[in-house]
Amino acid sequence: MSSTDISINHDIDHAHEEHDHHLDQNFFEKYIFSQDHKIIAKQYLFSGIFWAFIGGFLSILFRLQLGWPEATFTFLEPILGGWVENGKLNPEFYLALVTMHGTIMVFFVLTAGLSGTFSNFLIPLQVGARDMASGFMNMLSYWIFFLASVILFISLFLETGPASGGWTVYPPLSALPQAMLGSMSGMTFWLISMALFIVSQLLGGINYITTVINLRTKGMSMTKLPLTIWAFFLTAILGVLAFPVLFSAALLLIFDRSFGTSFFLSDIYIAGEALSNTGGSPILFQHLFWFLGHPEVYIVIMPAFGIVSEVITTNARKPIFGYRAMIGSLIGISLLSFVVWAHHMFVTGMNPFLGSVFMFLTLIIAVPSAVKVFNWLATLWRGNIRFTTAMMFAIGFVSLFISGGLTGIILGNSALDIQLHDTYFVVAHFHLVMGAAAFFGMFAGVYHWFPKMFGRLMDEKLGYVHFWLTFVSVYLVFMPMHYIGIAGFPRRYYAWTGFEVFNGFSDMNTFISISAILGFTAQFIFLFNFVYSIFRGRKSTSNPWHSNTLEWTTPVLPGHGNWPGEIPAVYRWPYDYSKPGSVEDYIPQNIPFSQTQSSNLPQERDFE
Amino acid sequence: MITIAIVLSIVLLLVILFLLFRIGTLASIFRGSSERAAGTTKTSNRVNGALLLLFLFGGGAAFAWSFIDSWDDMILPLASVHGDWTDSLFWTTMIVIGIVFVLTQILLFIYSYKYQHQDNKRAYYYPHNNKIEIIWTMIPAIVMALLVFGGWKTWTKITSAAPEESVVVEVMGKQFNWMVRYPGPDGELGVAKTTLITATNEFGIDFSDRNALDDFIPREIHVPKGKPVLLKIRSRDVIHSVFLPHFRVKMDAVPGMPTKFWFVPTKSTQEMRNETGNPDFNYELACTEVCGRGHFAMRFVLVVDEEEEYEEWLALPANKPFIEQNPDLLVKFQTESPKQIVLGSKTEEKAEEVKTEL
């Protein structure tokens, strides 16, 4: 295979001839075990969409239970079998649903599906490279992810159920098979799947970092990179630094579960016997878990930052406001994301002094986040906004990010977290700020880059319907959850009816469930639009959005190696939209200043 | 039959929707709107712009209404001293973020509406302004600093050491209920070990420890009003979390690592019954860390008494020392005690060896 050579010789003329013979690749080489970053990106996208529907469906199942706690669900028996007992959902299965929903959405959809798709697709195209630094590693990354997916998927069908101790899998609950059904083989599957997932993320992440550093085209300095690439680059660094820590936690947990060690276990009496484990600390696991877990939420949201910045600036026809401040805030968020993890642990019995330190560090992170929001707003100001579907989702993203981000200021405050920790207030907060918001970033990306992926456009009108239904139902689901959280309702409760203090809000819970079903149903509009448009969508031109970045200088459907001739050189930043003096309202990055004398700014005259 | 009818009508509905979609696509080709650059079509821009405005005002109004409407359900009556501090800090922060929320959402939707595409217009080339950037970095930084300071002061007070005269209550979580133990007149809880747990001795209390002899295990927590209460929290199997919503108290129960939380109750159960108008009102203790099948059902009742009532409750025959109610346990300890001590020390030695090996 010479595809790796292609990326190395990217500025040599004969590179094009060299990859001509790839047209003879057989089906497997071309579509299954492909080393082409565009095919791998699509593989990630399809897997992500598949998992998103599974994860969404699981959430509908537990919303049925929460919305109608008195109802009988005999109609679910054909799908759930023994997990429905006399029409009632099994409480342990309820926990399994919650756990799997979290695991699938955080890792398989919003990490692999989002980063995997867009980092793979856009990094080579936007930095001007023929492919990733290592196409082979990239392929391995996907197929190891696929293996992790298969294992997690199989665990859904185990007789004792999949892992059920919450997506955070805190031991001892997850470590002791006698503590719950889900901690039997389901947990083993979870750990193996997660270990493979981490390997896949590391292979992918190292590749992204290397490609951005080494394979930028001529003239593409770091300060001429689109913000998408900055976001993917920093996301990959976070992943490479944080995922190994989760790997170590998972490994130690495997040891505790299978080899009788006591890293996380001490002084336990369960199922009628005292265990001999002593000296371990369950809190140690939480530190290790959240050392990944907190950067992980930025791994989820930062690609969305990048995508949204790009979509907003393109469709507002305005340069992104404060390009350097945007990069600075991304770097700031990346650095801070490593020193805030213990804000998930204020009430675990951790030393209160540490709580003060982590509160301070956590609230600092609000500053770069606020700067990003202000910059997006300033970009919209006096723009000439095109409401493409992608743009609608980008606007929706900013709205959701504000709504969800602000409550982070409350939860990051250790004194306030005492009451709100593990209540629905937290659920509302993170679903808005990193769940729904990251999904909106992903949708914006899919609608925006669909023409480059498939050579056709997605239907705009269906897109609008999809956007509005999704946007409205997200707010209808998560805004009321704040009230329920302020009232103290704990999360991961099968039913609240056993408590007097939590006996209110039953109508509200029904309302939330109905909204959730509406939101989930709306996704089928997307699915239809997506599949239909791949085959029958309107044919796209090579630059349908009049965008400046390099991927739009490729043919409608870029082939292996991306550019048929030489890779274009880059002369300017990616945000010359509506520059005064220019005829068109956009100037792509590969247009030299010598061709745009009428619009050059005084300081750009030297480059002519 | 009904199932077939439902399936059939869903299929028909989908077919109709698909036809509508095709008609819409063909109509847009006929009108020529598909020839224009994406996102510049007048009608769809107008519709989306109007919807954005409608969402801002309609959604905002709905949010405000539902917030006010849910107020009574949302606000939990308060019954502790530190809860007053955290509640006021919470609502202060809510007002601050509420202002930012309203301003930024209004700007977002109004800008999107106002600056929607027009053929004859061009966006304003405005790449950066360092002064504005610095201003809007500094403002959130200052606001955050104030909020951190408020939070830090409150947090330090709440987590400070419990006063000497606190009423001590041990709360132990297990799958799936809570158990509590009082230290009795000597004010000291006896030693407990998981290895000593039996069906009767669920705490694993070591009755060779003199401090254990007056410990008692009631079925409800009783605490006197206005006195500091120190909860000594632990778990004997998985992680649980003590949550007393009315007292704004939450602390994990961790196996192998005892935790604590102290608070001062300000309203007796009777006072709260009068205040809420609910004669059956009880303070409840819930679990907030997922712990397995029965996680949602770990309810325990806490009663706040007036000082005299509390003394009366302590003197109840039901609250005699646990060992007096189960004297056979003590007999077992006394007869077996030399043996037990040897066995106990052996297991401990073993445990330590394991630890050093790791």
- Burial pattern A190-223, b for ≥16 Cβ within 10 A else e, equals bbbbbbbbbbbbbbbbbbbbebbeebbbeebeee
When pLDDT is cut at 50, 70 and 90, the band that residue A245 belongs to is very high
User: Residue A30 has what pLDDT?
Assistant: 80
Residues of B in contact with A491 (CB under 8 A): 288
Closest chain B CA to residue A541: B37
Return the pLDDT at A533.
95
**Helix crossing, A366-380 with B81-114: angle to 10°?**
20
Q: How many CB atoms lie within 10 A of CB B204?
A: 18
- At A273, which helix (H) or strand (E)? strand A273-274
pLDDT value, residue A7: 43
Predicted confidence (pLDDT) at residue B358 exceeds the cutoff of 60: no
Question: Looking at residues B293-310, what average pLDDT do you find?
Answer: 95
User: ipTM of the assembly?
Assistant: 0.92
pLDDT at A470 over 80: yes
Mutation for testing the A interface, residue in B94, B241, B293 having most A CBs under 10 Å: B293
Interface of B with A in 271-310 (CB under 8 A): 280-282, 284, 286-297, 299
pLDDT at position A104 over 90: yes
Angle between helices A185-214 and A91-103 (to 10 degrees): 10
Alpha carbon of A126: minimum distance to chain B alpha carbons (Å): 21
The nearest alpha carbon in chain A to B276 belongs to A501
Q: Residue B328: what pLDDT?
A: 85
Q: What is the mean pLDDT of residues B67-87?
A: 95
Q: How confident is the model at residue A9 (pLDDT cuts 50, 70, 90)?
A: very low
Confidence of residue A11 (pLDDT cuts 50, 70, 90): very low
In chain B, pLDDT over 90 holds for what percent of residues?
A: 74
Q: What is the mean pLDDT of chain A?
A: 92
Query: Are the beta carbons of B255 and A462 separated by less than 8 Å?
Result: no
Chain B partners within 8 Å of A546 (Cβ) = 37
CB contact under 8 A, A371 and B137: yes
Residues A277-327: tens digit of each pLDDT: 999 999 999 999 999 999 999 999 999 999 999 999 999 999 999 999 999
Q: How confident is the model at residue A144 (pLDDT cuts 50, 70, 90)?
A: very high
Q: Quick one: pLDDT at residue B331?
A: 78
Residues of B in contact with A172 (CB under 8 A): 237-239, 255
Size of interface A-B (CB pairs under 8 A): 377
Residue numbers in A near B37 (CB within 8 A) = 386, 544-546
Please state which of the ranges A30-34, A119-123, A127-131, A171-175 shows the lowest mean pLDDT: A30-34
Q: Which of B44, B236, B282 sits opposite A464 (nearest CB)?
A: B44
Q: Give the whole-angstrom CA distance, residue A191 versus residue A175.
A: 11
Question: Using an 8 Å Cβ cutoff, are A41 and A135 in contact?
Answer: no
Q: What is the pLDDT of residue A302?
A: 96
Residues of A in contact with B300 (CB under 8 A): none
Record: contact A487-B73, CB cut-off 8 A = yes
- The residue of B290, B291, B343 whose CB has the most chain A CBs within 10 angstroms, and thus the best one to mutate to test that interface, is B290
Percent of chain B with pLDDT over 70: 92
Looking at per-residue pLDDT, the higher value among A14 and A157 belongs to A157
Q: Once rounded to an integer, what is the mean pLDDT over residues A424-437?
A: 96
The reported pLDDT for the residue numbered B34 is: 67
Sorted by sequence, the CB contacts under 8 Å of residue B179 that are 6+ apart come out as B171, B172, B202, B203, B217
Three-class SS state of A567: coil
Residue A590: per-residue pLDDT: 94
Written as one string, the DSSP assignment of B166-191 is PEEEEEEEETTEEEEEB-TTTT-PPP
For B243-283, write each residue's pLDDT tens digit.
999 999 999 999 999 999 999 999 999 999 999 999 999 99
Taking the Cβ of residue B56 and every Cβ of chain A, the question of whether any pair is shorter than 8 Å is answered with no
Instruction: List every span in chain B annotated with CATH 2.60.40.420.
Output: 167-337
Task: Report the alpha-carbon distance of residue A92 to residue B295 in Å, rounded.
Answer: 10
Question: What residue type is A84 in one-letter code?
Answer: V
pLDDT recorded at residue A17? 44
Q: With the CA atoms of B340, B346, B347 and B351 taken in that order, what torsion angle do they form, in degrees rounded to the nearest 10?
A: 160
Residues with Cβ within 8 Å of B101's Cβ and at least 6 positions away in sequence, in order, are: A402, A403, A406
Q: What pLDDT band is residue A606 in, cutting at 50, 70 and 90?
A: confident
Q: Which residues of B touch A457 (CB under 8 A)?
A: 38
Verify whether the Cβ–Cβ distance B70 to A480 is below 8 Å.
yes
- Indicate whether A5 pLDDT > 90: no
Residues from chain B that touch A317, judged by Cβ atoms under 8 A, are 122-123
Q: How confident is the model at residue A16 (pLDDT cuts 50, 70, 90)?
A: very low
Burial A477-500 (b: 16+ CB within 10 A, else e): bbbbbbbbbbbbbbbbbbbbebbb
Whether chain A has a CB inside 8 Å of the CB on B246: the answer is yes
Residue A562, sorted as left (phi over 0), alpha (psi -120 to 50) or beta, turns out to be left
φ, ψ dihedrals at B220, nearest 5°: -140, 155
Instruction: For residue A375, give the chain B residue with the closest CA.
Output: B133
Written as six digits, the tokens of A187 are: 């947990």
Q: Which fold, B167-337?
A: Immunoglobulin-like (2.60.40)
Say which of A356, A495, A577 has its CB closest to residue B156.
A356
Contact B197 A371 (CB under 8 A): no
Measured between beta carbons, which residues in chain A are less than 8 angstroms from residue B102?
none
Residue B212 scores a pLDDT above 60 = yes
- What's the confidence (pLDDT) of residue B271? 95
Q: Do A403 and B101 touch (CB under 8 A)?
A: yes
Greater model confidence, A27 or A137: A137
In this predicted structure, the answer to whether residue A3 has a pLDDT above a threshold of 50 is no
DSSP states along A480-539: HHHHHHHTTPBSS-S-STT-STT-S-HHHHHHHHHHHHHHHHHHHHHHHHHHHHHHHSEE
**Tens digit of pLDDT for each residue in A44-57?**
999 999 999 999 99
Q: Are A376 and A333 in contact (CB under 8 A)?
A: no
Section A401-414 average pLDDT: 95
CB contact under 8 A, A267 and B251: no
Residue A390 pLDDT > 50, yes or no?
Answer: yes
Taking residue B136's Cβ as centre, other Cβ atoms within 10 Å add up to 20
Chain B's closest residue to A316, CA to CA, is B123
Query: Measured between beta carbons, which residues in chain A are less than 8 angstroms from residue B233?
Result: 349
Q: Match 């946007």 to its residue by tokens.
A: A471
For residue B214, give how far its alpha carbon lies from the nearest alpha carbon of chain A (Å): 24
Over residues B313-326, mean pLDDT: 91
In sequence order, what E strands does A17-174 have? 84-85, 88-89
For residue B154, give the nearest of A316, A386, A415 by CB distance.
A415
Strands (E), chain B: 167-174, 177-181, 221-224, 229-235, 240-244, 249-253, 259-263, 283-287, 300-305
| CATH of A3-265+276-572 given 1.10.357.10, 1.20.210.10, 2.30.30.30, 1.25.40.10 | 1.20.210.10
CA angle at residue A368 from A475 to A433, to 5 degrees? Answer: 20
Tens of pLDDT, residue by residue over B4-51, are 888 999 898 888 888 888 888 788 777 776 677 777 888 888 999 999
How would residue A28 be classed by pLDDT, with cut points 50, 70 and 90?
confident
With an 8 Å Cβ cutoff, are B255 and A267 in contact?
A: yes
Give the one of B75, B123, B150 whose C-beta lies nearest to A578's C-beta.
B123
pLDDT at A18 over 50: no
- pTM of the entire predicted model: 0.93
Query: Does B140 contact A366 at a Cβ distance shorter than 8 Å?
Result: yes
Q: pLDDT (tens digit, 9 = 90+) per residue, A480-505? A: 999 999 999 999 999 999 999 998 89
A172 prior amide bond cis, ω within 30: yes
pLDDT level of residue A23 (50, 70, 90 thresholds):
low
Rounded to the nearest integer, the mean pLDDT of chain B is 89
Query: Which of A283, A327, A416 to mutate to probe the B interface, most B CBs <10 Å?
Result: A416
Nearest residue on chain A to B257, judged by CA atoms?
Answer: A281
Cβ-defined contact of A415 to B73 (cutoff 8 Å): no
- The closest CB to that of B151, out of A176, A275, A415, belongs to A415
pLDDT value, residue B343: 52
CB-CB under 8 Å, A352 with B156: yes
- The confidence score (pLDDT) of residue A2 equals 40
